[in-house]
Structure 1
């Protein structure tokens, strides 16, 4: 149950909390190197907003990878993989990681969690243009990243996806709303498009899956019946909550039920606005810019680490030597694609 899950307790945030977490890890990464950087090198380091766009580039490429994967990947595997990825980069920073390989490790781990069985050999065969090396090397790197990924996720590996509540809500609508003059199945394609777009936003980290599912239904309704979508959603929620349609009975409805109805409608529209506002298709030019910038940062990091060691030795070698296990980047000989 989502209500008692680690997902709600440990991995659901407010927008303000997410922004603060991303700023914190960005500042920590800068502080790690700022004492040994030259003035002309400072411009290489990116803002939290730029790091988030780098993540969106990877998410966009990964969803294309998933769509081409054979055998066909279940939607829940994609959702779980993207949830792992988003959670991981509330701790790691893209500049200090092999961000593409982290995404591949997220997918392979998600397949195991969702019982979508595939061998590592077949998995890396599907990587093709996403590959950054030989199949054997890719397999080794993914398997090496897996325990690091599980640790950073604090072994909270169960992800509650919105697809099951979506099917439940749709079935309820078909049962309870027999007088609709269109086929409810017609909203499915637009709902799935909403889910796909949502995967490239923060809604996974902000809202319960049942509410995301309702937003997908309302998005599909809006595409089919436009101005009547909120009216249909309200009618469905009234039936679901048990509020009678008769005006006199409606007056006698419990205040908490009416409040729940209004809060749910407000939240559904909020989720839809969040996806509409924050989903931005990644252009090839933007992807290339990210790739170039990340490559330059990662090319500089070995030199910076060497300077930090020299600084540490000059200071008497007190404490843990820079670059020891506690600060090792995550398989970071990669570039964005």
Structure 2
């Protein structure tokens, strides 16, 4: 039940300003820690700003969506939704300058496959990744525990897909709408976009599902207002109904505002990130390679770490090593 879940208690926030404060806090924290030897006036030219981090993450959310869409074998919707929520949660409490989104993205999807019981082995998983697949496996497996720790081991995710099915069954049972199945296309389109917003960090899955259903109905030039007020929430007080209506309105507004960042801007931010990221967490840095050699020395394993891997997204190579941007 969502109402008693860790998602409700720890990962549902009051409004977007709270999310912005979390992100700004960890942006400033990284700059303070790693910018001690840089003139204060130069720090904000060298490091990413909170706005630049958000644009970068928005870009990688698009790649996450595309990676899941192209994944073989075909990936259930629940895995995609869970991966998105892991990705968003991770970067509420971490900076992209500390952990590059290219690497965390793949780890989020891999962990989501496990949690949602979509049984693919690590070798099957990295078959969807271009480049050095052995290195891809190392990066994903090395980050898996880190990801779980940063999520506070709150791994169960309540996605809006199940509530959608409940609403459709109820509409078929109690509503006079003809052929409710025709709403599915609009619902699916809406839910694909909703994960590109922060709605899953602000609203209950049932509220997101209802927003999707109402959006799809309006696209079909149908009105379900009476279904909501006279059937679905017939016994609810006016205050509760007002809260629900406002939540649905805001979710639909967030989805309407979704747009991808300008490619040139993202490319510039990516290059800036290459210079300012934490090299201790960069698999292509000398510091990282030396640390791996020391860790593996007792096992007589040679670590080279020279090849790179890239996510197979929409035909655009997304190198998981940022130094190749």
Bin of the TM-score, shorter chain as denominator length: 0.7 to 0.9
Kept in 2: contact 1:97–1:334 (CA 8 A): no
Determine the structure 1 residue equivalent to 2:167: 169
- Change in Cα spacing, 1:262 to 1:298, as seen in structure 2 (3 Å) is closer
Determine the structure 2 residue equivalent to 1:252: none
Determine the structure 2 residue equivalent to 1:217: 213
1:40 and 1:16 map into 2 onto residues whose CA distance is: 27
Kept in 1: contact 2:58–2:196 (CA 8 A): yes
Determine the structure 2 residue equivalent to 1:239: 231
Kept in 2: contact 1:76–1:161 (CA 8 A): yes
2:80 and 2:240 map into 1 onto residues whose CA distance is: 31
1:55 aligns with 2:57: yes
Per-residue deviation at 1:335?
A: 1.8
Kept in 1: contact 2:55–2:266 (CA 8 A): no
Determine the structure 2 residue equivalent to 1:9: 9
2:145 and 2:32 map into 1 onto residues whose CA distance is: 27
Per-residue deviation at 1:9?
A: 0.4
1:300 and 1:276 map into 2 onto residues whose CA distance is: 38
| 1:59-114: CA deviation from partner (whole Å, max 9, x where unpaired) | 10111111110111111101100101111111110012132111100000000000
> How do residues 249-268 of structure 1 correspond to structure 2 at under 5 angstroms?
256-268=236-248
SS in 2 for 1:156: coil
- Change in Cα spacing, 1:144 to 1:236, as seen in structure 2 (3 Å) is same
Q: Which moved more, 1:108-117 or 1:267-276?
A: 267-276
Kept in 2: contact 1:23–1:48 (CA 8 A): yes
1:234 and 1:104 map into 2 onto residues whose CA distance is: 43
1:26 and 1:62 map into 2 onto residues whose CA distance is: 22
SS in 1 for 2:322: coil
Across the two proteins, how many residue pairs are aligned to each other? 284
TM-score (structure 1 length as normaliser): 0.79
Q: Which moved more, 1:293-302 or 1:21-30?
A: 293-302
Per-residue deviation at 1:163?
A: 0.2
- Change in Cα spacing, 1:35 to 1:272, as seen in structure 2 (3 Å) is same
Find the partner of 1:95 among 94, 97, 111. Answer: 97
Per-residue deviation at 1:237?
A: 4.0
User: Cα RMSD between the aligned structures?
Assistant: 2.1
1:200 aligns with 2:196: yes
Determine the structure 2 residue equivalent to 1:26: 27
Per-residue deviation at 1:193?
A: 1.1
- Change in Cα spacing, 1:269 to 1:108, as seen in structure 2 (3 Å) is same
> How do residues 316-331 of structure 1 correspond to structure 2 at under 5 angstroms?
none
Per-residue deviation at 1:280?
A: 1.2
Gaps of 5+ in 1: 244-255, 303-332
Kept in 2: contact 1:113–1:158 (CA 8 A): yes
Larger radius of gyration: 1
- Change in Cα spacing, 1:299 to 1:96, as seen in structure 2 (3 Å) is closer
> How do residues 98-247 of structure 1 correspond to structure 2 at under 5 angstroms?
98-128=100-130, 133-178=131-176, 180=177, 182-225=178-221, 228-229=222-223, 232-242=224-234
Per-residue deviation at 1:241?
A: 2.8
1:108 and 1:237 map into 2 onto residues whose CA distance is: 41
* Structure richer in helix, relative to its length: 1
TM-score (structure 2 length as normaliser): 0.82
SS in 2 for 1:97: coil
- Change in Cα spacing, 1:299 to 1:80, as seen in structure 2 (3 Å) is closer
Determine the structure 2 residue equivalent to 1:253: none
